[in-house]
């Protein structure tokens, strides 16, 4: 634990478990009310930043221990002891579960004798979800955000780790971190934008005829064997639902990553703490769930996270993860669906390419220079790719 440091009028400290902070104090910074609109999307509530979500990860042993994610949250308090700002931070001994890939940097640095791990990561673990990362209360005194960055940098320096990484900040935090001297990096995801649609058919009418027909065909094919779709949220969530979903998650995770990140206990804790923010989309055959997709619900967005299936059905992944998410967002009046990292196949299904961001600081000047050069070249390629994706979007011309 980093000893407290004073940056008048603030006290900066670091804790190794989020349970050491009262939930109300953390959440007043993470999702302040009245809302702090800092990003272009205007997110009012992000469930991945809540005390409940982060605590569920810790108490279910998804992070901590030997996971390679060691909590090191940074706090900024006023002279009166009120939490003014905070950041969810972790010492990392690997680069898994981040979705902003730095393996090439790690390998290059270690080839010349450097030690890349451990590093300091500011993130919502296992969640490639853009949002605020410099969490500042709406009534915080001026300078709280600057003090938070100072605290993160001080923790990197005092701990002797190679680097500081802030992954998936919103654009406002990203720009601020750049002003503070961190190297800026761009990535890209696919999001669906709800442009006032009343129904899924309204959305389909904005697509070119060929794309519209292809989606209708996929949706029919996904359910051709008589599968039924259920939305489960809030008080309707049961342990039986989590048992079923965990089986799906483990099957997919074991094939995709080798070792799934989330424990069975995590899902129970998530359901207990954030039931009204959870949406399980289940495919049912003869009353039994055979596949499912987990989403979290913000005030503005639906966040698709994990999916799995015990039976193979053509196009079922598209139906559960993309089309049902669109249906739900339209029904709830949400402005967008964020369906996770990567996935060029989302483009033809009405999702649009958007930039994502990260910011980085390296202790070694050689690595810092190499990374800055790489990030600059990568950003130009990302910008060009997003333009190309926009040209290839499935929408009617002029819509």
Q: Where are the domains of the chain?
A: 5-190+354-391, 195-334
User: Model-level pTM?
Assistant: 0.94
Distance, in Å, from the CA atom of 47 to the CA atom of 30, rounded to the nearest integer, reads: 9
According to the model, what pLDDT value does residue 1 have?
54
Mean pLDDT of the chain: 94
Question: What HEC string does 288-313 produce?
Answer: EEEEEEEEEECCCEEEEEEEEECCCC
Distance, in Å, from the CA atom of 241 to the CA atom of 373, rounded to the nearest integer, reads: 48
Q: What is the rounded average pLDDT of the residues 96-112?
A: 94
369: left (phi over 0), alpha (psi -120 to 50) or beta: alpha
Kindly indicate the confidence band of residue 96, based on its pLDDT and cuts at 50, 70 and 90: very high
Kindly indicate the confidence band of residue 371, based on its pLDDT and cuts at 50, 70 and 90: very high
Distance, in Å, from the CA atom of 178 to the CA atom of 172, rounded to the nearest integer, reads: 10
Distance, in Å, from the CA atom of 294 to the CA atom of 292, rounded to the nearest integer, reads: 7
Residue 128, strand partner residues: none
Distance, in Å, from the CA atom of 82 to the CA atom of 140, rounded to the nearest integer, reads: 9
Kindly indicate the confidence band of residue 251, based on its pLDDT and cuts at 50, 70 and 90: confident
The position carrying tokens 């853009």 is: 130
The position carrying tokens 């407290």 is: 4
Quick one: CATH architecture of 5-190+354-391? 3-Layer(aba) Sandwich (3.40)
How many other C-beta atoms lie within 10 A of the C-beta of residue 136?
24
Q: What is the rounded average pLDDT of the residues 67-81?
A: 97
User: Residues 148-186: pLDDT tens digits?
Assistant: 999 999 999 999 999 999 999 999 999 999 999 999 999
Angle at 312 between CA 307 and CA 313, to 5 degrees: 95
User: Residues 106-147: pLDDT tens digits?
Assistant: 999 999 999 999 999 999 999 999 999 999 999 999 999 999
Q: Tell me which fold the domain 195-334 belongs to.
A: Aminopeptidase (3.40.630)
Kindly indicate the confidence band of residue 38, based on its pLDDT and cuts at 50, 70 and 90: very low
Q: What is the rounded average pLDDT of the residues 52-78?
A: 97
Q: Round the CA-based radius of gyration of the chain to a whole number and report it.
A: 21
Q: In what order do the strands lie in the sheet with 83-87?
A: 5-7, 10-15, 73-78, 83-87, 135-136
Residue closest to 299 by CA, chosen among 26, 35, 38, 57:
35
According to the model, what pLDDT value does residue 2 have?
57
According to the model, what pLDDT value does residue 256 have?
59
Q: How far is CA 378 from CA 36, 129, 250, in A?
A: 30, 20, 34
Residue 359 has pLDDT above 90, yes or no: yes
Residue 37 has pLDDT above 50, yes or no: no
User: Residues 193-231: pLDDT tens digits?
Assistant: 999 999 999 999 999 999 999 999 999 999 999 999 999
Residue closest to 166 by CA, chosen among 175, 158, 19, 70:
175
User: Residues 310-336: pLDDT tens digits?
Assistant: 999 999 999 999 999 999 999 999 999
User: Residues 180-192: pLDDT tens digits?
Assistant: 999 999 999 999 9
Distance, in Å, from the CA atom of 65 to the CA atom of 221, rounded to the nearest integer, reads: 45
Q: Beta-strand (E) ranges in the chain?
A: 5-7, 10-15, 69-71, 73-78, 83-87, 89-92, 119-122, 135-136, 163-167, 183-193, 228-233, 278-285, 288-297, 301-309, 336-341, 352-362
Same fold, 5-190+354-391 and 195-334: yes
Which residues, in sequence order, are CB contacts of 348 under 8 Å at separation 6+?
Answer: 211, 214, 394
According to the model, what pLDDT value does residue 41 have?
46
Residue closest to 129 by CA, chosen among 54, 232, 233:
54
């Amino acid at each position: 634990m980093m000893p407290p440091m004073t940056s008048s009028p603030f006290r900066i400290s670091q804790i190794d478990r989020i349970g050491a902070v009262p939930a109300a104090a953390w959440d007043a910074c993470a999702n302040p009310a009245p809302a702090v609109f800092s990003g272009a999307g205007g997110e009012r509530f992000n469930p991945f930043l809540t005390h409940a979500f982060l605590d569920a990860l810790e108490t279910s042993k998804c992070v901590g221990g030997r996971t390679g994610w060691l909590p090191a949250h940074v706090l900024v308090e006023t002279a009166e002891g009120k939490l003014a700002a905070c950041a969810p931070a972790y010492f990392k001994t690997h680069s898994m579960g981040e979705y902003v890939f730095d393996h090439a940097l790690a390998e290059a640095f270690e080839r010349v004798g450097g030690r890349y791990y451990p590093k300091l990561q500011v993130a919502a673990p296992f969640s490639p979800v853009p949002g605020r990362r410099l969490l500042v209360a709406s009534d915080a005194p001026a300078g709280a955000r600057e003090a938070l960055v100072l605290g993160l940098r001080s923790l990197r320096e005092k701990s002797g780790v190679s680097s500081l990484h802030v992954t998936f900040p919103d654009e406002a935090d990203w720009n601020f971190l750049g002003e503070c001297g961190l190297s800026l990096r761009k990535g890209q995801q696919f999001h669906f934008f709800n442009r006032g649609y009343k129904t899924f058919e309204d959305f389909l009418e904005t697509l070119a005829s060929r794309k519209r027909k292809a989606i209708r065909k996929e949706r029919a094919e996904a359910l051709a064997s008589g599968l039924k779709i259920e939305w489960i949220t809030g008080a309707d969530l049961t342990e039986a639902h989590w048992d079923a979903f965990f089986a799906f998650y483990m099957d997919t995770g074991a094939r995709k990553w080798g070792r799934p990140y989330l424990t069975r206990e995590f899902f129970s804790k998530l359901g207990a703490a954030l039931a009204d923010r959870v949406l399980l989309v289940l495919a049912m055959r003869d009353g039994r769930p055979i596949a499912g997709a987990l989403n979290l619900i913000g005030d503005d967005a639906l966040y698709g996270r994990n999916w799995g299936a015990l039976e193979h059905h053509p196009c079922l992944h598209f139906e559960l993860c993309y089309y049902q998410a669109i249906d739900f967002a339209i029904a709830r009046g949400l402005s967008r669906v964020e369906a996770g990292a990567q996935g060029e196949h989302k483009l033809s299904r009405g999702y649009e390419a958007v930039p994502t961001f990260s910011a980085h600081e390296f202790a070694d000047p050689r690595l810092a220079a190499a990374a800055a050069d790489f990030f600059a070249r990568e950003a130009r390629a990302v910008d060009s790719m997003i333009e190309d994706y926009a040209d290839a979007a499935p929408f009617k011309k002029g819509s």
